Amino acid sequence: MEATKTDDIQLRHVEKDVLIPKLMREKAKERCAEKVEAFNHCCKESGFTMVFKCREQNAALKECLTMHYTNPDFYEECKKEYIQEKLEFERTGIPAKNRKQKLPTSM
């Protein structure tokens, strides 16, 4: 039997407009990790003056994140990942974050 194609899945409004964009934000932060780290480091080093001192790092981070948020291919990639997780949840009843946790080696 052929697996269900992700293109055939009907998504609810909340999935398209909230849950998939949330996944996009998480994945974009991972892909922009170097810029996130640079901005965080600058903020820690600058204290109250971070608003002025970290403009360059903030601009680079925003540019990286925006590049991902506005990329239709990235949206489709995240949509497919979301649908796969949804189908796996429907099949197993186990949420994705629980499936990714390591099982204890001893009780």
Indicate if the alpha-carbon torsion angle 72, 73, 78, 80 is positive or negative: positive
Contact 60, 38 (CB under 8 A): yes
3, pLDDT greater than 60:
no
* Alpha-carbon span 12 to 4, nearest angstrom: 17
DSSP letter at 31? H
Domain that holds residue 87: 13-91
Residue 94 phi, psi dihedral angles, 5° rounding: -105, 125
How far is Cα 61 from Cα 79, in angstroms, rounded to an integer? 23
38 found inside a domain: yes
The residue among 53 and 47 whose pLDDT is bigger is: 53
In a domain, 7, yes or no: no
Give pLDDT tens digits for 15-49.
999 999 999 999 999 999 999 999 999 999 988 89
- Give me the number of domains the chain comprises: 1
Q: Identify whether 102 is part of a domain.
A: no
Residue ranges in 1-107 assigned as alpha helix (H):
13-14, 20-31, 33-46, 50-53, 55-69, 72-92, 96-100
- 25 within domain boundaries: yes
